[in-house]
Chains A and B, each alone.
Chain A
Amino acid sequence: MAAGDERALGELYDRHGSTVYALARAIVGERADTEEVVADAFGQAWRTAGQFDPARGSVTAWLATITRTRALDLVRARGRRSKVLARAAQESDAGFATPLASSDAPDRDVERQETRQLVTRSLGELPEAQRRVIELAYFGGLSHSEIAAELKEPLGTVKTRLRAAMEKLRDALSPRIRQVEP
């Protein structure tokens, strides 16, 4: 790898490393596993960078998809799903930041700080039941029917809630979403 390429990867890490780390941490929990997921995710991003098309989506979305997939794979491989579920059920140290916590972690980058506040506020505006479904799907990697079993709710209800929550979030976050090309 040429020095210039390595610099490009370094810049990618400097810009997105803390988000990728926080996301991996929220899913896998343990620190050693988190680091493994982060290295793994950037490795995959690096290998597949040639297929990434900035006209069709943001780097943030691309990296988040890779990170969630790697993190959830690791959790499944370790057979630690129940632990993850237990954590996703709490709202303490893992999961989405509470509005209070998010202001505790100031970001020097104003745009990122504002995005973070908007995301936290948008999540806070969801009805509790919808937010739970999103958390189980996002951090626990649960499917519709697994969420239904976990919450002891009808499958149709879970599907409706998840979709409604995602649509609300998309509306609320639309100032931060670039129009993509098909």
Chain B
Amino acid sequence: MIFVAGVSKAYRDGEVRREVLRGVDLEVGRGETAAIVGPSGSGKSTLLNVLGALDTPDAGTVRVDGVELSASRPAALAGFRNRSLGFVFQFHQLLPDFTALENVIMPGRIAGRSAASLQAHGLALLGQVGLEGRAADFPQQLSGGERQRVAICRALMLEPPVLLADEPTGNLDAASGAQVLDLLNGLQRRRGTTMVLVTHNPEVAGRCGRVLRLEGGRLTPERARNRERR
């Protein structure tokens, strides 16, 4: 489902060249869940952006859901992101001019569907994360954790085959974190969704099939015991 080989990415900071990814290899099969852990600044978000066709690597191959990303045109990639990917951004990135519900159904609007046909599903999603009463609220009226949950609903709106989530439970307390994880697991069981999660939370990582550590620009498998000792 996700196939990454030899991906490198460097940023130029004035004179300094910072190599964030140096030959990352990764394979995630259909319906699998992979957690990516690593210190801050190690390039986890960068890797996720590369997987999500938002950023182009300097070298290497990226294939997601059968699409060779480097060979596709921008318009085709836009369609691919809309159809095949669900994104949970590290900083929720809700649109402040739209209500919670409007934010949730936005991927459907982009796909060209009418608001009426999307509303019921959007409300159901909000209900599953305990926000049924906040559908008409604007992001400014929501707490950080509530915004994060709305952002997760938005990523799940079109039930994408691939979900890329950057610290989906970062701002959440244990209870709502569990709620979100249940939602993700439920979707995975029902639809066979492939997931790549970036997380600092050992409990979240523990619920994933595989845990990978990104450090020094390389991705290495991490055994559960190592993680718990840390």
Partners in one complex: no
